[in-house]
Structure 1
Amino acid sequence: MTISNQLMKGLLDGAILGLIAHGETYGYEILEKLKAQQFPEISDGSIYPVLLRLSKKGYVQSEMRKSDNGGPKRKYYTITESGRKELQAFTVKWHALNHGMNNILRRDKDAK
């Protein structure tokens, strides 16, 4: 099952902000965390445009640093205050949408 690009874009923004809000992280680690939570349809290149967009909006900030294991430099992301406010707004909208969809789907299930 594929999810529309627009829907996925909005969900991915919220999901990535939520992950970064838990603590500083980098792109590949974000991808692994999304996959571990069974977030659908995540490809390796799909999160970097989101991170760039979130950065341009001022929701996250980044810093290039050496990796802990001596590998190449990584861009580490942290959430900003405006990012926390955006995440809070997303969470409110998500809960309302989720509640409404669950009500509709339960009603459809009960009607059968």
Structure 2
Amino acid sequence: MRNRKKRPFWLLTISFLSLAGLFYLAFSLSPSSQLSIFNFQFSIIILFFLLIFVFIFSLFSFLFKNTRRGLFLGLLAGSFLLLRLFSLTQIIFPLLLVFLYITLEFFFSKQK
């Protein structure tokens, strides 16, 4: 009989908390507002990208039962959104990201 990996429940909890943070961020703050921590001013967009990454990472790590794939998908989504933010909307950029994701997945899956 095969030993099954359990799905860690804490990943789902982190996913829902980051999704709630995203909803709060999207509906209550403007994109041009600043966040101040210890006399440093940060744009809210940095927090948005961090919450998007944490949400996608934890959700797909829970669904796939594999943190490596969750990490790669979180980085893929964050990179795609960063490209969109910088108006790099040509078709080649998402294709390069997908090919990079596939290459990294093959590279790290063959390492075992």
- TM-score normalised to the size of structure 1? 0.30
Instruction: Select the structure that is richer in strand.
Output: 1
Query: When you count helix as a share of all residues, which structure comes out higher?
Result: 2
State TM-score, norm by structure 2. Answer: 0.30
